[in-house]
Amino acid sequence: MSTNLEPRPRPGSPLPPPRRLPATAVPEGCVAWTGEKLEAWARTRPPVWVPTRTRPLHLLAVVPGGLIVGFWLANFAEVPAALAVLVPLQLVWTLVRPEVVRFSAPALLLLLSWYGKSHDVPTLLGLTAVTCTWAVAEIRLSKRRLQRQWALAAAEGATATVPDEAGPLRRGRFLMGLGFVLTALGAGLLSLASGWDVATDRHEVTLVGWFVVGWGLTTLLSGWLGRRRAAALRGGPVPVLRVLVRDGADGDAEVFAADDADALRPLFTVAAEEWYDDSDEEVEERIGREERDELLDAVEDVGDDDEQPGPLREAVLYGPPHEGAEIVIVSAAEKPEETEYQGPVDLEKPGEPDGTDGAEDAGGSPAELIVESSSGPVRPLSDRAVRRWGAAQRVRARRSTVHEELRARAVTESRARLGDEPVAVRRWRAGWADWTAALFMIAAVAAVGLYPDGLTQYVLGGAIGVFGVLVLPQMLAWRITADRSGLWLSGWSRTRHIEWDHLMTVRCAGTVLTVDSSQESFTAWSVRAERWRGLERKLRLVHPYERTAAEITAMWREPALRPEGEYSGRGRPLWPLGVVLAVVWAAALVLLP
């Protein structure tokens, strides 16, 4: 069974030793990445004012300004839209594709010299800005080459072929597909704007159309470059280095020096994914039974501000790491592999060691290896980024300590209450947190669905209304009932049942309470409610979902705490409430002006 109440390392406590990587997984001659060559690699990081860790928010911040300048050039300087669009695209390329800047910057300088006047302030400012972007791109590319050279020197000539477990080449598929779609949309917008009569509107729409085309081609180029670099890793032996790695709180892999067992200074982060062979039935079964919990965590913990990074693991890097590079990571598993599922396995009791060192499972067999391929480029961390990272780690650890204390209190109180109040059946139901979330959703649905006029109101309101009718009943009236046989969970059409022996997951992850069964025919049951983590910490409040998860877990662990009666009512389905909400929403669409 999986639960967020499992014993875990206390935040701020010394880190356990890194999970050991079997010697058979280390290529011959592979050296640890430490010492002077590592320091030389770190010194070649670009300056802090050179953008190397671009986020979508950065693009959203600079693109509007570039488009405004482009509109000004198209409308007042009479620059053709196809040329004026180079201004916003130059900002995009500076952030994400410096390889393009060395070609686009000379073109922009020529454009400004042709259309501008030598003594115009806007022209001088434009020339200065373009020169700065060109210099930033060249510095970034030169640092990238130096990092690659130092990484090759650190490998000391050791090479190896990427393991077959890395799977087929997948890098770039999504970006290339998205690039084609954006380019097609931009071309369609240009075709539409060509038939307009109003010159000003036509210029603006044409500029936006060319921008979408340029963005699409940039995305296509990013996907092609990433795929080309990933393919080069699989084309033959590549340099290898021994490092330490762990899964960061944000989901990216954090890479440390081989001797940084305290995880004090991450070298770089990279988005990585593991490949599974869909034809392997054993792997499919393992994913469906064990790693489904990890997938739920990844989706549900988006709003969880105390999520902690995973354990350190020994790993081997395939490919020279540098800014923008593609790599493959072979590392020890985070936990020993369970060879066979034999029904529910009792959770570790407090103070009971797990009996493993990360290199062998309970039976003495080698630990499972994790082979991950980068799904994004390598992003080195500057000293300032490391300081911010460390501060965020400390804040997250303090928050996690408080929440762990609250969860522990919930466990203690739940055990005491369950033992003092024997009942035939025990129930949990929607409360203030669920009703608050439902109120916010109703307000949002009403604001969006009732705002338009005419036919748009009925089409948009009807679509949003269907969503609300399907989601709101569970938020308003969910129920969990426990009896001696198991749990009864409210559903849209019927109440579902999980026997105690089949209970696999009870987890409060962020804003979501999840209950799941080991039976493959059972789909996970979940409800979502709002949380105010800061208020919970300040007032020392235990969220109702945390208390519910603690009480169900206590009954699962100790059969003596389970109710002795049998639930005969089986509960009511939620669809009648959905019908009432549908009627009310339809009346609002028809009657309200």
What's the pLDDT tens digit per position in 126-135? 888 889 999 9
Q: What does pTM read for this prediction?
A: 0.69
Residue 205 has a pLDDT of 81
What is the C-alpha to C-alpha distance for residues 539 and 305, in angstroms, rounded to an integer?
Answer: 17
**DSSP β-ladder status, 379-380 and 479-482:** unpaired
Residue 110 has a pLDDT of 87
Residue 553 has a pLDDT of 85
What is the C-alpha to C-alpha distance for residues 178 and 148, in angstroms, rounded to an integer?
Answer: 29
Residue 288 has a pLDDT of 46
Contact 451, 463 (CB under 8 A): no
Residue 293 belongs to what H/E stretch?
Answer: helix 292-300
Residue 463 backbone phi and psi in degrees, to 5: -65, -45
Residue 287 has a pLDDT of 44
Residue 410 belongs to what H/E stretch?
Answer: helix 383-420
Q: Which residues of the chain have pLDDT under 70?
A: 1-14, 117-119, 195-202, 276-307, 335-367, 403, 415, 417-422, 569-571, 593
Residue closest to 405 by CA, chosen among 550, 545, 552, 540: 540
Structure tokens at 114: 């042709």
Give the contacts of 182 (CB within 8 A, at least 6 positions apart): 212, 213, 215, 216, 219
Residue 303 has a pLDDT of 45
Packing angle, helices 35-43 and 121-155, rounded to 10: 170
Contact 305, 396 (CB under 8 A): yes
Residue 343 has a pLDDT of 35
Residue 588 belongs to what H/E stretch?
Answer: helix 575-591
Would you give the distance in Å from CA 479 to the centre of its chain? 30
Residue 228 has a pLDDT of 93
CA angle (104 as vertex; 103, 108 as ends), nearest 5: 130
